[in-house]
Amino acid sequence: MDITVTAITAGLLALTLIVLSVNVIRLRGQNKVSLGDGGNEALQRAIRGQANCAEYAPIGVLLLLVAELQSANFYLLIVLGAALLIGRLMHGYAFGFTSGNIPLRRGGMMLTFIAIVSLAVVDVAMPMIGWLS
């Protein structure tokens, strides 16, 4: 079974999480904060950007994998995988590397939600369609 879209999306999301994590480590070093955020707003945002990626990316990748294993349309998988990745990039950048760019943050969450909801619908609908045939 070919899972190319999931493999590429998961790999790029993992690299995104590493970039966000390195940013947290860098800010902790700059601000001499070993644990938590030390009350530093930039560090708080960076931590939430990293954590948010770690919270949403796994369910998105899992849903993408299930859809791909069910032989969902290849081009639909590419679009939804790209939406998930771009959404996480936008949101992570807004949190970790800006002073809270709200439009970028909202856009990132919207793309992430669109991808997750769409993949959830595909994952539920495909077996049901199979039962009808």
State which residues form the domain around 78.
Answer: 4-132
Q: What is the pLDDT of residue 1?
A: 73
Q: How confident is the model at residue 69 (pLDDT cuts 50, 70, 90)?
A: very high
Crossing angle (nearest 10°) for helices 4-31 and 41-69: 170
Q: What is the pLDDT of residue 26?
A: 95
For 3-10, what is the mean pLDDT? 98
Separation CA 5–CA 89 (nearest Å): 17
3-state helix, strand, coil in the chain (%, to 5): 85, 0, 15
Helix (H) or strand (E) holding 98: none
Separation CA 116–CA 14 (nearest Å): 17
pTM: 0.92
Separation CA 53–CA 60 (nearest Å): 10
Separation CA 5–CA 10 (nearest Å): 8
Question: Burial of 47 by CB count in 10 Å (0-12 exposed, 13-18 middle, 19+ buried)?
Answer: buried
Average pLDDT for the chain: 93
Name the residue type at position 82.
A
Q: What is the pLDDT of residue 111?
A: 98
Helix (H, G, I), strand (E, B) or coil at 70: coil
pLDDT digits (tens, 9 = 90+) for 77-132: 999 999 999 999 999 999 889 987 899 999 999 999 999 999 999 999 988 887 65
Supply the CATH number for residue 32's domain.
1.20.120.550
For 50-58, what is the mean pLDDT? 97
What is the tally of structural domains in the chain? Answer: 1
Separation CA 43–CA 24 (nearest Å): 7
